[in-house]
Amino acid sequence: MFDRLEDLLRRYEEIMNELNEPSVTANQDRFRSLMKEQSDLTPLVEAYKEYKKVKQDAEDSMIMLESESDEEMRELLKEENSEAKRRIQELEQEMKILLLPKDPNDDKNVVVEIRAGAGGDEAALFAAEMYRLYVKYAERNRWKVELVGADEIGIGGMKEVSFMINGKGAYSRLKYESGVHRVQRVPETESGGRIHTSTITVAVMPEVEDVDVVIDDKDIRIDVMRASGNGGQCVNTTDSAVRLTHYPTGIVVYSQTEKSQLQNKAKAFALLRAKLYDIEQQKAHDAEAELRRSQIGTGDRSEKIRTYNFPQGRVTDHRIKLTLYKIDDIMNGDIDELLDSLIAADQSAKLARMNEA
């Protein structure tokens, strides 16, 4: 590990020197590439530099302890040495995590699709609430949300909703949300007061560029039509809505949220690219069954990942057996504790696999 850290430290210093050269600042593509590499290396380099300093402090305190006769001073040196050793262990763990292979999609924006599953209207109502949850979470992080399309029902629910979240690191946090979410509560329409169970599915996909997924013109049918449902006067009276049909996969996507047909077409293609990329990712995971089993929340879309029990005020994530009794906060977008726990579990699983290798 330490040989690799020394190599990365040297590379970091090379980058810093190169960034000061006039020829590099004049070449914007090269400059951006180096800045990205520098940004990626900075947390690891800073941790390694602190590690080396703390390790030297620990060695110095031991040398001083051997020659020190004053008891009060010896106690102080022992305390410093103990604190340094504790910090060394923390930094070693931190550096191991930072050295784990990074998901190339982590810094990307995301495309999210929520679909009502079992449970009829109650599932559609919960789908709408989960959409609001993610919007509120995005707002907490100052991320931008763009609605792509929604199939709404009259009582405030959504059979389906797709949207984009634009923000640095959005995928690194929200990728753990993919799967089946189950809700248990008494519906407002249920006179007997029986607890009703319904489900929704959430798919979180990284936004991909044209170069990542190439769509052949002959594989696509583009239909334009008048938008339906809620919308402004211009939205509902012009042929601005766009529907794309991808023949090889049978995927159909629809966007009607913008006044401009061009904007709706761009959103629809972004959603289609994300879906096609996601299919390829799923195939890769299926081909690497052992890897998929070791990962938290990036595997089977049909996996039941979480239960929201309203009568008991609890949310349980089944992958890591974590239960939190703060359902109101969570439904208002406070999901960091859930996501932090999932990330920690994912890192632990990867570290365990790395140590076994």
Tell me the pLDDT tens digit for each residue of 163-183: 999 998 899 999 999 999 999
Question: What percent of the chain is predicted at pLDDT more than 70?
Answer: 88
Q: Which domain holds residue 247?
A: 217-287
DSSP 49-116: HHHHHHHHHHHHHHHHHHH---HHHHHHHHHHHHHHHHHHHHHHHHHHHHHSPPPTTTTS-EEEEEEE
Regarding whether 12 and 57 lie in a shared domain, the answer is yes
Residue 244 lies in a domain: yes
Indicate yes or no: pTM above 0.85.
no
Regarding whether 196 and 334 lie in a shared domain, the answer is yes
Question: In this structure, what CATH number is given to the domain that contains residue 153?
Answer: 3.30.70.1660
Q: What pLDDT does 235 receive?
A: 42
Tally of structural domains, the chain: 3
| Tens-digit pLDDT profile for residues 202-255 | 999 988 876 677 788 888 888 887 766 544 434 444 578 888 888 888 888 888
According to DSSP, residue 312 is labeled T
Last residue of a domain, one of 271, 287, 303: 287
Regarding whether 307 and 163 lie in a shared domain, the answer is yes
Burial of 36: CB neighbours in 10 Å, binned 0-12, 13-18, 19+:
exposed
Residue 104 lies in a domain: no
Burial of 102: CB neighbours in 10 Å, binned 0-12, 13-18, 19+:
exposed
Residue 105 lies in a domain: no
